[in-house]
Amino acid sequence: MSQIIEITDFSDPALDVYARLTEAQLLNRFEPAKGMFIAESPKVIHRALDGGCQPVSLLMERKDIDGSARDILARCPDIPVYTADEDLLAQLTGYHLTRGVLCAMRRPRLPAMEEICARASRIVILENVQNPTNVGAIFRSAAALGMDALLLTPGCSNPLYRRSARVSMGTVFQLPWAYTGAWPEGMETLKALGFKTAAMALSDNAVSIDDEGLMAQEKLAIFMGSEGDGLAEDTIARCDYTVKIPMYHGVDSLNVAAASAVAFWQLRRK
């Protein structure tokens, strides 16, 4: 039976995770085992639970206890559920809850880069992509369009930040991902594991995304760069291919999230 707790004291330390701790504080870089994240909306929470994430507490509008959160409560019978009306929760969190439900969860153990690559034929590498919305959108496209896993360089926004997880529709809990560690040295690990590397970048010697040799590669790693600067020149130089998406009407590039969807569809394993 769920522990339903009516919120009467905004200063309750148990509510810090929802109201007073920043994303960086929740991440807890110095003690990763104690790190937490917030899953927002029933769909995202269900996918996090399906992915094996451990719930700590729930925060929701009173009406959702017997409404949109009913199935979540059935799956999490032994954790505290903090509740109040919408206006009171908005005062606590500083904004109106998306679909009325938040869940504080323990951060799962991340696999090693080598562990992910061993089972994949199509992987995505994000280099210094810092916008949480873009990270979430890229995860959603990767899951929908046939990618096996994602790797992120240390300069990327964390996929479990609340906005990333919500924009991804919870696919951050479905698709394996890990950090690369030292970069660009990690590229040598990819090549040792048999991956050909493809840099998505504008270049005079770039091949079209529908290049037959590129599409025929058994194991392919697709590199996407940051929103402003794109991929680093050193990264591009180390890749086996530089790849571009043909453009029309004088447009030279797409937002990284939009470009990722085009790339993943074209380069998926047939």
Burial letters 204-240, b for 16+ CB under 10 A, else e: eebeebebeebeebebbbbbbbbeeebbbeebbebbe
Count of Cβ atoms closer than 10 Å to residue 115 Cβ: 12
In terms of Cβ atoms closer than 10 Å to its own Cβ (0-12, 13-18, 19+), residue 57 is buried
> In whole angstroms, how large is the CA radius of gyration of the chain?
21
Residue 224 and residue 125 in contact, taking contact as beta carbons nearer than 8 Å: yes
* Residue ranges in the chain modelled with pLDDT below 70: 1, 94-99
* Residues 122, 264: Cα–Cα separation, whole Å: 9
CA dist., res. 173 & res. 159, Å (int)? 9
Return phi, psi of residue 188, to 5°.
-65, -35
CA distances 230 to 124, 233, 260, 266, Å, are 15, 9, 13, 20
pLDDT at 98: 56
Tokens of residue 62, six digits: 């009173």
Per DSSP, 59 falls in state E
As a whole number of angstroms, the distance between CA 180 and CA 250 comes to 35
The CA distance from 191 to 206, in Å, is 20
What pLDDT, in 10s, does the model give residues 221-230?
A: 999 999 888 9
Q: Cα–Cα–Cα angle for 236, 238, 242, nearest 5°?
A: 40
Q: Is residue 221 within 8 Å of 237, Cβ to Cβ?
A: no
Measured CA to CA in angstroms, residue 168 lies from 62, 82, 132 at distances of 26, 25, 10
Q: What is the pLDDT of residue 76?
A: 93
Token pair for 126? 């994000």
